[in-house]
Structure 1
Amino acid sequence: MQRQLLALAIGTLMTMPAHTDEQADQAAQALLRVAAEQAKSAIDSGEAGWLSRTDINVDIQQEHKPSWSIETIQPIYQSEGLTHTWFFQGRIAHSDDDQTVNLGTGYRHLLDDHSWLLGANAWYDTTIDESHYRYGLGVEAIGRYIDVRANWYDAQSGVKTVRVNGNISDTEAALDGWDFGLEAPVPYLPWARVSWKTYEWDRSTGENIQGNTVGVRASLTDNLDVTVGATDDNTDSAQAFLTLSWAFDKPQGREWTATGTGSTRDAFAARDLTKHTLDKVRRHHDVVIEKKRTGGSGITVGRRN
């Protein structure tokens, strides 16, 4: 039954051009049913592993108010030897602008020599207040040392009028986009990884948003990850950010920590990829919104994400 629900969700998400709001809701409900069944099964069997795959995040970015989220990734099916993994990933986030819900499902294949995990994933992202929504697709290659990821985002909700005051009207629209990123370990510090990502968002007015993000993510303890970095694009000044991530239990993929490992003799330590089949998909979860004000003295264009 779980595989049938998964097939329904993926099939609905993959046929993006023919989607209606009702079909999108069906896909989201199917994914939620899979997650609920898996959570109930884990609790009934006394398995506490699902806690290690659930965390709370606090994001602090320059010129933005702090936001928080709770995120989980849970297995739907894993074969003997972990060659095949189907999973569900969900996230709920709250910021000053809006609340966001992300529902995703994916597949990962572990090569016979355990040198790479190759995967693909599909997503439904929506905001609560204005009901902007989009679909997403991602591919990833997780290696013993480096990770490679690419994501595509397809906005579906169109232009929404959010406020009218006399002859002045405010509209919002979710944006299409893509990103591509690399991640690698810091020499002699296997618990720290440096990342780079380039991205583009398609605006209806003016030039597209193009930029880059760099960061360093460090596993300080069994439960705490800290990420520091900066993002910069052609429409705004560079902004620094800090993300704190607290896992309810030690994640299986946390092989090294700053407090437990320190530095190593060798520059690079190979990861055991059997412990990373349920690492969270890394992507831009927030729906990027183009804001436009017309009337009065002219047209004003802005953005939030």
Structure 2
Amino acid sequence: MIMKRKYAPMILIIFTLLACGYFFIASAAAQSPTNGSVSGKVSTNVGLLPEETRVTLLNATNTSIAYDEFNTTVDNEGFFIFANVPAGNYTAYAWSPYHSEGMSNSFTVTPGSTASCGIILLAKPYYADITAKPGTVYLGGYKSDINVYVYDYMGNPVGAGWFITMHTTAGTLDPTYAETDANGSLRTSLISPESGSYAEISVYAKSSNGTYYQLQSAAKMPTPTPEPSPTATPAASPTVEPTITPTPEPTEVPTVTATATATPVPTPTPTPGFELIAVLCAIGFLAAIRKFK
């Protein structure tokens, strides 16, 4: 009994220490993080902050798998953050009005750490301005050179590599599609139709998902019907030429010569006639001056 009483406190202390150690280990294990976080920033190629830009986490192995619980809107400077993200491999997908879709590189989230990523969005085509040289063409196969200038929503040239298609309500475009150059422009030609008053050209851009959308501008190419007057001009000139051939002068010349030969005094005849005309002209001139005064 003495031995049992002697070791009882020691046994109790050992059990207490073991219980405390187990509780400490269990508490530490419960408090150790199993998830991490993600922080990132969305920017654009034109330096302007995108409006209403949303970011979603995707599975890095299969990007068709989106995690809807990790979906947020960026702040005024384009920053975003996701907390309590399970460990794994991810990529961030961003979308903004008037910008193309964008995706970050893949990254790994580990427990207790913060993974970072960045996404750059390209400002997509929004406006199209069209110029034509000449602006008015004759009907029937005449050609006008068309220049198309493509701008984003902020009015900046979109740059190179955007696939653009064009459509006209009259005539033929050649080519009907092209890619923009470094200045965001492209060229085509309009072959005028046989009839019509104008041709309206519409411009479409190809989005990142392969669909096409119409840009916010359309140009009207005047091809008025009065312009085929060149074809009427050759028809008018033949009608003038026949009137020149039957000139009345050949008929008058014989009569003049006939009266001249019948007159016994040939010399005085022209002189009184010429002077009379001069006097009549002078009288008419003076009468006109008086009337004007």
User: Do Structure 1 and Structure 2 share a fold, with TM-score over 0.5?
Assistant: no
Structure (1/2) with the larger helix percentage: 2
State the structure with bigger RCO (CA 8 A, min sep 6), 1 or 2: 1
Higher Rg of the two aligned structures: 2
Length-normalised TM-score, structure 1: 0.20
Structure (1/2) with the larger strand percentage: 1
